[in-house]
Amino acid sequence: MSESTSGGPGLSRRDFVKASAASVAGLGMLASGASGQVKGERPEQARDVAVLNPRGRVPVSFIIDDSTCLVNLAHFGIPQFHEVFPDRYQQDWRKLPREIPDSFVREFASWCHEKGVKGKYSVVPYPACVGWLDRDLPGWSHAELQGSLKLLRETLADDWDFHPEMVSHTWVIDTKTGRPFGERSQRFMENWRWTDGKSVDELADYLAYALRILKNVGLPCEGITTPGGFANRVLPELAQATLEACRDVFAAEVPHYFRHLYTGKESVAPRVEYAAALATRDPKCVVSIIGCTGDWFGGWDGLTEGAADRFLTADGQAGRLVDVIDRGEPAVLVCHWPGIYFNGRKVGFRIFQEVVARLHRRYDHLLWMKLSEIARYWAAKELTRIARQGNRATFTAPFAAPQFTVQLAGAAPKAVRLRHGRTAQPLKKVAKPLLLASGTWCPSPAGAIACLDLPRGKSELHLT
């Protein structure tokens, strides 16, 4: 990884990390929960202006792990896991299909696009050490690999974020040689203990290595997914390394990562971390996206059938998604690609189709979003300075955010206008919150709700 960074001329990435850590540590603000990760800067926000969910709706998203081009990671990964843990992973991996075909990827993507489903699709760069996506996959022709990558770029990119799920998802790769380390133990498996004690620089080097492979094949990335227990004991370092690696390789404005999944009473709202330099031309933060379900579709190995009722019962009255949606937090479902395909029987896919049908039957205020869209919105929600004086609300935003939605307390106005620079745009009045879209507003019992494409920098809402 290059020592240069966008942190400023002559400032190395290592110096930037130290300066950022010192800056946010001095603020003394830690994220809630067991992670102990640093939130960083937080601007003042007027009490009579509340930032709501986008369009006043509840975000929903779908995380797909263990996916890549063609390779069924379960088939190739299980014998490698078994080598380290001979008393575990005793499934007969030879009976699992070696490939998850592009025909299924196309079928899945087409159905999801028709239903408006969005989310994150992992692309493991060197899946189970079978081959490199930016070179060749032994067992498949070069043309087949290129066709699979083209399918991702042209069919999935609009609705799905791409993440590396580290380099191989099995053995740790020496980034100097591109070969797995020689030791065959959990200390050199990505899913287990290799990350213990690793510094921000060491983690950032590894993440950037994975990101560059996806960049080589034309897949844009604004975030990463951790395989198994990767970085579980170095969570602050993981957040900072994600921030640096995604900025270094892809110039991502709002990097994000998927590491945590909670199915209990914990909040699953995104965590905006390491916010710094918000008043400068180069603001920084990283967002932790949190899953809210287990993989109750078909599992990581495609061996255990799931059930839709754990997500949402047929009558729409119970299930994990009811708990999350009813409290207004993003409902981010989690699965593993081999279980969606389920050995060609598509059991997990059918369960997902039923869950989506139940969701759309039960709720009319959901908004499917990619993880990058959720991350950007939460960064704007928490890091925009908001002032209120009479009939004027002023926003100073380090990050732009589409469909930014605010509740403004007070008497209901007759009109609402957005001013940014020298331009002024009247917002269209709609009858109720469910009709909100960018450029509209509606009366509410507490005053007014406005939905706008929040620009970066300073803008104002005028209520008259």
Q: How many CB atoms lie within 10 A of CB 124?
A: 31
Percent of all residues in the chain with a pLDDT value above 70, rounded to a whole number: 92
Cα separation, 231 vs 27, in Å, equals 25
Interstrand relation of 392-397 and 385-389 (parallel, antiparallel or unpaired): antiparallel
Q: Please name the residue that has the structure tokens 């996916």.
A: 67
Under a CB-based contact definition with an 8 Å cutoff, are residues 462 and 417 in contact?
Answer: yes
Give just the sign of the alpha carbon dihedral 346, 351, 159, 211. negative
Distances (CA, A) of 312 to 112, 317, 319, 361, 363: 18, 7, 4, 11, 11
Backbone angles phi, psi at 339, to 5 degrees: -80, -25
- pLDDT over threshold 60, residue 20: no
Same fold for the pair 45-51+384-463 and 57-373: no
Condensed to tens digits (0 to 9), the pLDDT of residues 291-330 reads 999 999 999 999 999 999 999 999 999 999 999 999 999 9
Would you say 333 and 286 are in contact if contact means Cβ atoms under 8 Å apart? no
Residues facing residue 416 across a β-bridge: 463
- pLDDT digit string, tens, across residues 214-229: 999 999 999 999 999 9
Six-digit token string for 228: 């198994």
- Please report the pLDDT score of residue 37 as a whole number: 75
CATH class of the domain at 57-373: alpha beta
Which pLDDT tens digit goes with each residue over 2-19? 323 233 333 333 333 343
Residues facing 460 on adjacent strands = 394, 419
29 has a pLDDT exceeding 60: no
* CA distance from start to end of the chain: 53
Cα–Cα separations (whole angstroms), residue 77 to 57, 83, 170, 208, 219:
39, 10, 7, 23, 23
Segment holding 49, helix H or strand E: strand 49-51
Task: Kindly state the average pLDDT of the residues 347-366.
Answer: 98
Residues 90-133: pLDDT tens digits? 999 999 999 999 999 999 999 999 999 999 999 999 999 999 99
The whole-number pLDDT of residue 35 equals 56
Q: Are 436 and 56 in contact (CB under 8 A)?
A: yes
pLDDT value, residue 7 = 32
pLDDT at 167 over 70: yes
* Architecture of the 45-51+384-463 domain: Beta Barrel (2.40)
Mean pLDDT of all residues in the chain? 92
Q: Which distant-in-sequence residues (6+ apart) come within 8 Å of 272 by Cβ?
A: 39, 40, 285, 286, 287, 378, 379, 382, 383
Q: With bands split at pLDDT 50, 70 and 90, how would you rate the model's confidence at 422? A: confident
Lowest mean pLDDT among 10-19, 42-51, 54-63, 419-428: 10-19
Domain ranges in the chain?
A: 45-51+384-463, 57-373
C-alpha 28/C-alpha 375 separation (Å) is 23
Per-residue pLDDT for 431 more than 50?
yes
The Cα 164–Cα 120 span in angstroms is 10
CA atoms of 356 and 193, how far apart (whole Å): 36
Rounded to an integer, the average pLDDT of 382-388 is 98
